[in-house]
Structure 1
Amino acid sequence: MGKVVLVTGVARQLGARFAERIRREPGVDLVVGADVLPPQAPDPREAGDGPRAPYVFSHVDLRRPAIARVLAEHDVDTVVHLNVSATNPGATARSAVKEINVIGSMQLLGACQQSALVRRLVVKSTTGVYGSTPRDPAVFTERTPPKTLPADGFAKDAAEIEGYVRGFARRRPDVAVTVLRFANLVGPSADTPLASYFALPVLPTALGHDPRLQFVHEDDAVEVLRLAALEPVAGLPDRPVDRSGTFNVAGDGVLLLSQCARRLGRPTLPVLRPALGWAASLARQTRAMDFAPEQVGLLTHGRVVDTSALREVFGYRPAYSTPEAFADFAAGQRGALLPPERLAAAADRLATLLSKRS
């Protein structure tokens, strides 16, 4: 019997794309999508040729024990957990997003631990677990401990989830566990908080700071997930490649925030660091965008990671460098500012807040 792959988070762009891509992989007999909302429409970029494995969708909330039933019902042996994000469809409050990320991951890991069939687990994480502080090293490797653990937001969720995944790996040494720490995801259809920031008509920046940033193209993200989900190929003579462990995923090179702004044709507005945090807080309160404190740290101090392990163990070098990935993102963002109705609503809420403060 071939592989049966469970993909969580198929209501988001990355999950939907990966589910379509893995269906075209030889040896995959069935792909099961799991989410609280229906999956996105198939991405035409994943159309391809040749046969496809059947696809079934399970309407399931990972925070509920029902996920164990899904694993058992379909004899799942490979789990690709992508429902770990800064925002989630249908969740309007930060507390709800945290529940989906952390409680949902705990329930999924518990179900995997009880399943005798699961043999491979791939978990989407973020380079945000390293944090962004002025005392950080120039480049983070997978073994570099953060100077300061993330205190809130998506980065804190990811750090907690990684801890639970390490516990799972100790309890189930028979399961190959891979954690992928992705840099900021960009591409023509990127739907991340940082993409919303770059869609602003004017980009607020921290006065006196021009951080170094890294990006990974969504095409490269799908390919790395594909490699992680498959059985390892032969490496050196008589020794297969072991893709278990934690890996940074980012395009080669870096971009300064000022370079990103110029590529987008956006003016910048340098403000004092406290004012940038205050503006981010107002953005969250007015729901103009979901911009967490961790993003403020990134836009102040930046973050760069080493990807040697990805090249050496996976044998994969991202097709898009960081500048190339951002250029592809920027090409689809020309003039793509926040919708007028959202800007107007945000302005009204901001005026109300300012009047209360005065």
Structure 2
Amino acid sequence: MGRVVLVTGIASSFASQFANRIAESKGIDKVVGIDTILPKGQLEGVKFVRADIRTPVVGKVMAVEEVDTVVHLGVGPPTKGRSSAAKELNVIGTMQLLAACQRAAGVTKFVLGSSTAVYGTSPRDPAMFTESSLARGGVRSGFPKDIVEVESYVRGFARRRPEVIITTLRGAQLLHQDIDTPLRHYFDSPVLPTALGFDPRLQFLHVEDAMNVLVESVVNDRPGTFNVAGDGVVMLSQAARRLGKPLIPLPSFGFAAGARRVLKAMGSDLSPDLHRLLTYGRVVDTTALRDIFGYELKWTSEQAFEDYRATARPGILSSIGGRA
């Protein structure tokens, strides 16, 4: 018999796309998606269960469906529809999900969709973070703090259930017009506030690579923790020029509040915690993904950005024939 896969957070467009993809993969008998709201995309060959992972109901779903593989994609930064409940969904939801996995003897694999935000963001950061690096700042609040807690709970689960294969994928931010991420909303704005005196290095992850790595984690055994980000970097100033959007330098002290006011005036907003990334940047090493996990990334950060730019709303410079 093939695997029975539970996908959390399936209401997001990325999770629903992944569920459809894994349902078509060889060796998969059934895919069950769980969330509190209906998925944005159409599900094909996927059973949707409307339930809250913060409650014991998730354990009943796992028992009834005889789940043996859990893909936890229900962890993420605040979005427009879930900003108030983000921390509870991230932390309490993960605790309840792991408790259910602890009781489910049939669970043999757990895949966590984590984030490079676990490394934080600070002026003392190394040139590149490896999987063994520790955060040097920027993880005391918001989503970075959530993801640090989530990973600690997963490590605790691994100690209690050492027979379960656990894969933790620390992904850079996806940048795609159809995927709801804070960085995409920032780049969609007609103007781009920046911290005066800073030009951060940014990495992006293409949807195709993210899907491929997740599928590989499910259909094969790839235990361990891996950074997943497109090779190379894109400077924020380069991104702005290529989008044809003006940068608005603001004092670094109070940058978050100033940037939020500017973006709100433009009908957009700045996600909490994003201001640190837009100040100091963050770059991770993906050697382990290639050499240990066995996946060669198809899209660099620059190529992922260019793919987004092809469908992005044109900026002022683009509209008058400006060039990157």
Tell me the TM-score range normalised by the shorter chain.
over 0.9
Q: 1:40: Cα distance to partner? A: 2.4
Instruction: Work out the CA distance in 2 between the residues paired with 1:283 and 1:31.
Output: 43
Say whether the 8 Å CA contact 1:284–1:291 is kept in structure 2: no
Q: 1:72: Cα distance to partner? A: 0.2
Secondary structure of the residue that 1:29 maps to in structure 2? strand
Say whether the 8 Å CA contact 1:125–1:180 is kept in structure 2: yes
Residues 83-92 or 137-146, more deviating: 83-92
Indicate whether 1:291 and 2:271 are aligned: yes
1:24 counterpart residue number: 24
1:283/1:149 Cα in 2 relative to 1: closer, same or farther (>3 Å)?
same
Indicate whether 1:86 and 2:40 are aligned: no
Unmatched segments (≥5 aa) in structure 2:
317-324
1:98 counterpart residue number: 87
Instruction: Work out the CA distance in 2 between the residues paired with 1:89 and 1:196.
Output: 10
Query: Highest Rg: 1 or 2?
Result: 1
Unmatched segments (≥5 aa) in structure 1:
44-51, 233-242, 338-358
Matching residue's letter, 1:59: R
Q: 1:280: Cα distance to partner? A: 4.3
Matched ranges for 1:112-123 at <5 A? 112-123=101-112
Secondary structure of the residue that 2:277 maps to in structure 1? helix
Indicate whether 1:181 and 2:170 are aligned: yes
Secondary structure of the residue that 2:47 maps to in structure 1? strand
2:322 counterpart residue number: none
Matching residue's letter, 1:193: P
Say whether the 8 Å CA contact 2:4–2:30 is kept in structure 1: yes
Instruction: Work out the CA distance in 1 between the residues paired with 2:25 and 2:275.
Output: 40
Q: 1:55: Cα distance to partner? A: 2.0
2:320 counterpart residue number: none
Say whether the 8 Å CA contact 2:130–2:286 is kept in structure 1: yes
1:305 counterpart residue number: 284
1:68 counterpart residue number: 59
2:240 counterpart residue number: 261
Q: 1:281: Cα distance to partner? A: 5.1
Instruction: Work out the CA distance in 1 between the residues paired with 2:149 and 2:181.
Output: 20
Root-mean-square deviation (CA), in Å? 1.9
1:146/1:276 Cα in 2 relative to 1: closer, same or farther (>3 Å)?
same
Instruction: Work out the CA distance in 2 between the residues paired with 1:200 and 1:2.
Output: 45
1:201/1:101 Cα in 2 relative to 1: closer, same or farther (>3 Å)?
same
Secondary structure of the residue that 1:215 maps to in structure 2? coil
Instruction: Work out the CA distance in 1 between the residues paired with 2:252 and 2:129.
Output: 24
Deviation per residue, 1:255-282 (Å, 9 max, x gap) = 1000111111111011111242222454
Instruction: Work out the CA distance in 1 between the residues paired with 2:72 and 2:263.
Output: 27
Residues 163-172 or 150-159, more deviating: 150-159
Indicate whether 1:35 and 2:28 are aligned: no
Instruction: Work out the CA distance in 1 between the residues paired with 2:175 and 2:297.
Output: 13
Deviation per residue, 1:299-324 (Å, 9 max, x gap) = 11111100001001221122110000
Instruction: Work out the CA distance in 2 between the residues paired with 1:77 and 1:322.
Output: 34
1:343 counterpart residue number: none
Indicate whether 1:160 and 2:149 are aligned: yes
Say whether the 8 Å CA contact 1:216–1:250 is kept in structure 2: yes
Q: 1:62: Cα distance to partner? A: 0.8
Indicate whether 1:215 and 2:195 are aligned: no
Instruction: Work out the CA distance in 1 between the residues paired with 2:260 and 2:217.
Output: 37
1:142 counterpart residue number: 131
Normalising to structure 2: TM-score of the pair? 0.92
The share of aligned pairs that are identical, in percent, is 49
Aligned length: 315
1:72/1:283 Cα in 2 relative to 1: closer, same or farther (>3 Å)?
farther
Instruction: Work out the CA distance in 1 between the residues paired with 2:263 and 2:50.
Output: 29
Deviation per residue, 1:94-141 (Å, 9 max, x gap) = xx1100111001000000010000000001111111111111110100
